[in-house]
Amino acid sequence: AQRVTQPEKLLSVFKGAPVELKCNYSYSGSPELFWYVQYSRQRLQLLLRHISRESIKGFTADLNKGETSFHLKKPFAQEEDSAMYYCALSGTGFQKLVFGTGTRLLVSP
């Protein structure tokens, strides 16, 4: 079965520090990975997806099939990055997104 694991419920860093939000997945097929973000009082929205290989708001994520990981990274955290981050998985053969339990990122001044 497909599964997404985000081991950290809360990640607290100071402004300017590097950030890495961990995401591991379990899926035997060809995965498609996403990061979604939910800012306070806003709806969930797509941050980035691995197929685009893009950097959004300074965040990047690399799909590592050997380690089955899709960690989200940013070299210098900003206060406005404080939010709930969800890693999600999709793939051939199943028509849905499987979400992890989420990591709350708190960036302090």
Partner 1 sequence: EAQVTQNPRYLITVTGKKLTVTCSQNMNHEYMSWYRQDPGLGLRQIYYSMNVEVTDKGDVPEGYKVSRKEKRNFPLILESPSPNQTSLYFCASSRDGRNTEAFFGQGTRLTVV
Q: Which residues of this chain interact with partner 1, rule CB under 8 A?
A: 6, 9, 32, 36, 43-46, 49, 51, 86, 90-92, 94-102
Q: What's the CA gap between 22 and 96, in Å, rounded?
A: 21
Is residue 104 exposed (0-12), middle (13-18) or buried (19+ Cβ within 10 Å)? middle
Q: Closest approach of Cβ 32 to partner 1, in Å?
A: 5
**Distance from C-alpha of 55 to C-alpha of 29, rounded to nearest angstrom:** 25
Return the number of the residue (7 or 16) whose C-beta is nearest partner 1.
Answer: 7
Q: How far is the CB of 67 from partner 1 (least distance, A)?
A: 21
**Tokens 């339990």, residue located:** 101
Nearer to partner 1, 40 or 109 (CB): 40
d(CA 72, CA 54): 12
Q: How far is the CB of 11 from partner 1 (least distance, A)?
A: 15
15 or 68: whose CB is closer to partner 1?
A: 68
